[in-house]
Amino acid sequence: MTSVSVKDLRLSFGQVTVLDQLNLDIQEGEFLVLLGSSGCGKSTLLNCIAGLLDITDGQIFINGRNVTWDEPKDRGIGMVFQSYALYPQMTVEKNLSFGLKVAKMPQGEIDKRVARAAEILQIGPLLKRKPSELSGGQRQRVAIGRALVRDVDVFLFDEPLSNLDAKLRSELRVEIKRLHQSLKNTMIYVTHDQIEALTLADRIAIMKGGVIQQLADPNTIYNAPKNMFVAGFIGSPSMNFLRGEIAADAAGRPAVVAGGVTFSLDGYHAGETLVPGRKVVLGVRPEHVKVDEPGGTGEVHEATVDIEEPMGADNLLWLKHAGHTMAVRTAGSRRFSPGTRVRLTFDMTLASLFDAESEERI
């Protein structure tokens, strides 16, 4: 069953149209991540779903009910903000119970719900404190608790972790995932951190300029990006893009000639026929190149190590190869000094091929 459904949504601030003709269906219990660079309209979309912005056109359904004109409180949503947005003059307990008090819920039920949220989020000892007496991680927990006590079907998160330091962020990320697994609510989560997106999401919607570029599970997004924007946005370091054109290799099979070298496309599943001479971009992720190793599908290429970046678990090499610079990931235990000649093989089953003009996947 669809939990949240956005139909032909349009939102303009005066003359500026931020979202146009946006459609999105989210399944019940799904964890959907909205990912995109700053200013692409993620928060705007979330605010539209929450009812905090009056939309210009289109419809929004939550649990099969048309909530387009409903107030935020009547939509069955809870929201967590980047800046926590805790009421500074109230204690943690008051913060958690404010919404319930407004809804005139009996005190006994309020106490029960606050206690339950405090237990789930382990903020019991903090209930009597003011937000200013909490650390960043504790504040964010309280903010999540505020959504939790309302016992809603849909959770909306707007970059809830981006004000925290790296260590806390990864801790809370795991906690949010655990929360989702135990509550099984629908969650819509805005972030510009691709690690958060890949680790948390059932599906990721990648946005650019108010348009959803691709909506798919993390694996598909990572391995079969729909266009060059998605391919370049996900993955760090970014996918290597080799500009060239379609040709036939020695055996007459399709190949890409880029920078004077030939990459056989053996094993690549193209969605359309590859006409020789077509301008294309071959995309290869750094971890899909083998260095000085047997195996791999295509021919062997020669390259020179330019810079080595050891990162502990793995070792990132920047190579000079047929006129372009290429990032390649190897095991952390393998070391290469600059200037070394290495032999590369490419795994074409995991590569991506894009049209040079439209930048769409072929």
Partner 1 sequence: MSDRGHLKKTAHLAEVPASWESGPRGARPRRLLSTRTIVVYGTLFVAAAYYLLPLYVMIVTSLKGMPEIRLGNIFSPPLEITFEPWVKAWSSACTGLNCDGLSRGFWNSVMITVPSTAISIAIASINGYALSNWRFKGADIFFTILIVGAFIPYQVMLYPIVIVLREIGLYGSLSGLVIVHTIFGMPILTLLFRNYFAGLPEELFKAARVDGAGFWGIYLKIMVPMSLPIFVVAMILQVTGIWNDFLFGVVFTRPEYYPMTVQLNNIVNSVQGVKEYNVNMAATILTGAVPLLVYFVSGRLFVRGIAAGAVKG
Ligand X SMILES: Nc1ncnc2c1ncn2[C@@H]1O[C@H](COP(=O)(O)OP(=O)(O)OP(=O)(O)O)[C@@H](O)[C@H]1O
Return residues touching partner 1 (CB under 8 A). 47, 50, 52, 71-73, 77-79, 81-83, 85-89, 98-99, 102-103, 146, 150
In terms of CB distance, is 189 or 222 closer to Mg ion?
189
Which H helix or E strand runs over 145?
helix 136-149
Q: CA nearest 84: which of 129, 131, 140? A: 140
**49: nearest Cα among 99, 4, 2:** 4
Nearer to ligand X, 160 or 254 (CB): 160
Contact set with Mg ion (CB under 5 A):
43
Compute the least distance from the CB of residue 81 to Mg ion, in Å: 10
Shortest approach of ligand X to residue 96 CB, angstroms? 26
Contact residues for ligand X, defined by CB under 6 A? 13, 16, 18, 36, 38-44, 192
Q: Which tokens hold the place of 217? A: 């599970």
> What is the number of other CB atoms lying within 10 angstroms of the CB of residue 319?
25
Shortest Cβ distance from residue 214 to ligand X (Å)? 16
18 binds, among Mg ion, ligand X, partner 1, none (CB under 5 to 8 A by kind): ligand X
Give the one entry of partner 1, Mg ion, ligand X, none that residue 150 binds, where binding means its C-beta sits below a cut-off of 5 to 8 angstroms depending on kind.
partner 1
Q: Which is nearer to ligand X, 41 or 51 (CB)?
A: 41
- The CB-of-14 to ligand X minimum distance in angstroms stands at 7
Pairing, β 341-346 against β 300-310: antiparallel
**Choice between 12 and 304, CB closer to ligand X:** 12
What gap in Å lies between CA 305 and CA 283, rounded to an integer?
Answer: 20
Binding partner of residue 44 among partner 1, Mg ion, ligand X, none, CB cut-off 5 to 8 Å per kind: ligand X
Partner from partner 1, ligand X, Mg ion, none contacting 69, C-beta within 5 to 8 A by type: none
Q: Which of partner 1, ligand X, Mg ion, none has residue 39 at its interface (CB below 5 to 8 Å by kind)? A: ligand X
What are 73's two structure tokens?
Answer: 């409180």
CB of 308 to Mg ion, least distance (A): 37
The answer to whether the CB of 142 falls within 8 A of the CB of 133 is: no
Ramachandran quadrant class, 12 (left: phi over 0; alpha: psi -120 to 50; beta: rest): beta
Residue 155 or 241 having the CB closest to partner 1? 155
Q: Could you tell me the smallest distance in angstroms from the CB atom of residue 213 to ligand X? A: 13
With a CB cutoff of 8 Å and minimum separation 6, the contacts of 206 are 35, 36, 212, 213, 214, 215, 221, 229, 230, 233, 234
Quick check: 203 and 216 in contact, CB under 8 A?
yes
